[in-house]
Amino acid sequence: MRQQLYLLRHAKAEPWSPLGNDFSRALSARGTNDARRVAGWTQDTLTVPDTVLCSPAKRTRQTLAPLLEHWHQLLSTTDYIDSIYGASLHMLLTLVDDAFSYSEQLLMVGHNPGFEQLLISVLQKDQAAPVKRMATGTLAVIEFPDRFRRDVHGGVLRYQVRGKTLPG
């Protein structure tokens, strides 16, 4: 079976403030709407993931919430992983590698720059070259025809959608 990685960067958050706590920043109104659009698109298009790994930051949990409303069964397979917040590429690859040892479809919800680096690092070279940016509210669906291997750029980008551009 082909493994699939669903990478979801959190939707648009409230502006950062030097007086605030970045970890506690909530989604903006636009971000909340974009997260709902992505959730609607996934329900109509994707297979339900086996496993969800999500940063525990407020904006990532709020981005995931509409997906959990559509896919109730994910509540029992969702883990909030502290190390996703501010994760290095190495850490993200380790998490993916571990999760694919027991999953076929993996959803990860997190942050840049790590998610952008992860997307580029797992794609086949010809597909990675045009990827410049993973904007807020972007979902990338990567398929691994020969199973995920962290040292092989074998992923095929099946979809890359952004909540801001989806109808709804």
Q: What is the pTM of this model?
A: 0.95
Q: Domain range spanning residue 26?
A: 3-165
Q: Going residue by residue through the chain, which has 168 residues, state the pLDDT in tens, using 9 for 90 and above.
A: 689 999 999 999 999 888 778 899 999 999 999 999 999 999 989 999 999 999 999 999 999 999 999 999 998 999 999 999 999 999 999 999 999 999 999 999 999 999 999 999 999 999 988 888 899 999 999 999 989 998 889 999 999 999 999 987
Question: What CATH number is given to the structural domain containing 48?
Answer: 3.40.50.1240
Residue 16: exposed, middle, or buried by beta-carbon count in 10 A (0-12, 13-18, 19+)? exposed
CA distances from 31 to 51, 59, 121, 163 (A): 24, 9, 26, 8
Q: Which residue is associated with the tokens 């076929």?
A: 104
The total of structural domains in the chain comes to 1
